[in-house]
Amino acid sequence: MYLMSKALRLLICLLPLLVGTDSKADIVVNLGRGAVTIFTPASYDSTTPTPLILLLHGYGSNGAAVDSWMGFESIIDTYGFLYAHPNGTKDAGGNRFWNATDACCNFGGSSVDDAGYLSALIDTVADRFNLDPDRVYIGGHSNGGFMSYRMACDYSGRVAAIMSLAGATWDNDADCNATSPVHIAQVHGTSDATILYNGGQIGAASYPGAFESVSRWAGYDGCNAEPETLIGEIDLVLGPATESDIIRFNVNCSPGGSAELWKIPGSGHTPVLSSGFAAQVVEFFYAHPKPGVTDVAAAGEILPVTMGLSNSPNPFRHTSTLRFLISRPGLVDIEIFDLRGRLTRIIERGAQFPAGPRTIEWNGRDDQGRVVPPGIYFARLRTGERIETRKLTLLR
């Protein structure tokens, strides 16, 4: 375990570095293995809990390179999240790596505790900023994707969701120590010749395939074993169409858990990503927070299971209809949040609903009846400890 006192973490945080002429202030921290910049959105408000995204590079790469490829830093002001892309340590060959799973990529047998290091980095961000503990997200490519799974296993209580592009989870279930559900998005090209789509070996160690990684996590998260498959649902690589499929386990999952595979037909290990790739990952993250202590504590009793929250039209200009199913009578909350996680509209709070299908409309207004600005919002349906979230895009 990478242990560090709170006082020491505070001491190693350097003074904020002002960027440009606005109020945005990034900071640089050093946990004993090099400087890490914590990028801050221009809209940061110390009174508002703010999400954090960590992006992890692949073997032999570095944080700046993976961000240049994926483009997360360019959208932090749009989506309002704290952000860092730290570096792994170097092996004997001078290649940066993360000590993730037995398969990838600690080839020199280093004892470095990267999971503890990343946990300490999250602690440092929490010391310096108003970090939302229910919205800590980790993404990574290749070795960084393996490391994202390692964090989901070792720190399931604090990681809300991960995105692994061309990575994999542990091959042996006993090596994953997850004690809480985590939302999983595995992104993988079917023609990946480095980390094989159907699984393989690196040296003597095996790793599971993309679907197996996701289905295992669906099992950890308590989801139904039969997934939903959406063909041509999402645009992940450069091209004119939505070319990628989504295979999703999200029915009857434990609170805070779900798993899905974003399958890119014919794509390799380092695809040419679409301009919207990072935004789609962030929107997946934002739609999948942890349930939160207050959410669970307020439940009081086990309430009905919800299934199939959907909305149409989407995008919309005036009104969008939310559709969902209540399996047995109980109390329901339906709320609208903006991209920063701020409550925009309470549609229902503690409403008693009968069993069966339901529809509710949102007219693009806040609780004071004011028309809200165009942009991305999230509808959250809560029944006891179960939460489902859907993205709504409001046009004007």
CATH of the domain at 115: 3.40.50.1820
pLDDT digits (tens, 9 = 90+) for 210-244: 999 999 999 999 999 999 999 998 999 998 889 99
Residues 109 and 187 grouped into a single domain: yes
The answer to whether the beta carbons of residues 112 and 104 sit under 8 Å apart is no
CA separation for the pair 360, 68 (Å, rounded): 41
What number is the average pLDDT over the span 40-69? 95
Say what the pLDDT of residue 332 is. 87
Strands 50-56 and 82-84 turn out to be parallel
The verdict on residue 142 lying in a domain is yes
373-384: b or e for each residue (b if 16 or more CB lie within 10 Å)? eeebbbbbbbbb
pLDDT in tens, 128-181: 999 999 999 999 999 999 999 999 999 999 999 999 999 999 999 999 999 999
Three-state SS string over 291-360 comes to: CCHHHHHCCCCCCCCEEEEEEECCCECCCEEEEEEECCCEEEEEEEEECCCCEEEEEEEEEEECCEEEEE
* Residue 17 pLDDT greater than 50, yes or no: no
Q: Residue 278 has what pLDDT? A: 96
CA distance 176 to 60: 25
d(CA 264, CA 361): 34
- Please, what is the average pLDDT of the chain? 88
The reported pLDDT for the residue numbered 307 is 53
Examine the domain organization and report whether 199 and 334 are in the same domain.
no
305 lies in the same domain as 205: no
Instruction: Give burial (CB, 10 Å; 0-12/13-18/19+) of 368.
Output: exposed
Apex 277 CA angle, 379 and 375, nearest 5? 35
**pLDDT in the model for residue 57:** 98
Final residue of a structural domain among 272, 290, 308: 290
Please tell me whether residues 235 and 380 are part of one structural domain.
Answer: no
Same domain, yes or no: 147 and 239: yes
Same domain? For 149 and 231 the reply is yes
Instruction: Identify residue 171 by its one-letter amino acid code.
Output: D
User: Rounded CA gap, 301 and 328, in Å?
Assistant: 13
Give residue-wise pLDDT tens across range 112-126: 999 999 999 999 999
Residue 3: pLDDT band with limits 50, 70, 90: very low
- What are 303-329's pLDDT values in tens digits? 455 556 777 788 888 889 888 877 677
The Cα 49–Cα 135 span in angstroms is 9
| pLDDT > 50? residue 380 | yes
Q: Is pLDDT above 70 for 299?
A: no
> Which residues are within 8 A (CB) of 289 and not within 5 positions of it... i.e. 6 or more apart?
132, 134, 135, 160, 161, 341, 387, 389
Query: 377 and 283 share a domain?
Result: no
pLDDT value, residue 318: 87
Whether residue 209 is found in the same domain as residue 329: no
pLDDT value at residue 24? 65
| Domain encompassing residue 376 | 296-394
The answer to whether residue 309 sits within a structural domain is yes
* 112 against 300, higher pLDDT: 112
| pLDDT, position 304 | 53
* Count of domains observed in the chain: 2
Does 267 reside within a domain? yes
Q: Kindly report, residue by residue over 185-212, the tens digit of the pLDDT.
A: 999 999 999 999 999 999 999 999 999 9
Q: What's the CA gap between 270 and 306, in Å, rounded? A: 37
| Segment (H or E) for 200 | strand 199-202
> How many angstroms separate the CA atoms of 128 and 131, rounded?
8
pLDDT surpasses 70 at 302 = no
Which residue, of 255, 290, 325, is where some domain finishes? 290
Q: What is the pLDDT of residue 358?
A: 82
Q: Residue 244: name the closest of 185, 285, 171 by CA.
A: 185
- 282 shares a domain with 336: no
Tell me the per-residue pLDDT of 73-103, one tens digit each, with 9 for 90 and over. 999 998 899 999 999 999 999 999 999 999 9
Residue 1 lies in a domain: no
Spatial CA neighbour of 38 closest among 86, 77, 87: 86
Q: Measured between alpha carbons, how far apart are the two ends of the chain, in Å?
A: 51
Greatest pairwise CA separation for the chain in angstroms? 64
Percent of the chain with pLDDT over 90: 67
Please indicate, yes or no, whether the overall pTM of this predicted structure exceeds 0.95.
no
Same domain, 241 and 330: no
Domain boundary among the residues 275, 290, 305 is at: 290
Q: Residue 371 is part of a domain; what is its CATH number?
A: 2.60.40.4070
Would the CA dihedral through 143, 177, 262, 273 be positive or negative? negative
Rounded to whole angstroms, the Cα distance separating 255 from 136 reads: 16
220 and 118 share a domain?
Answer: yes
Same-domain check for residues 324 and 276: no
Average of per-residue pLDDT across 341-365 = 88
CA atoms of 289 and 299, how far apart (whole Å): 17
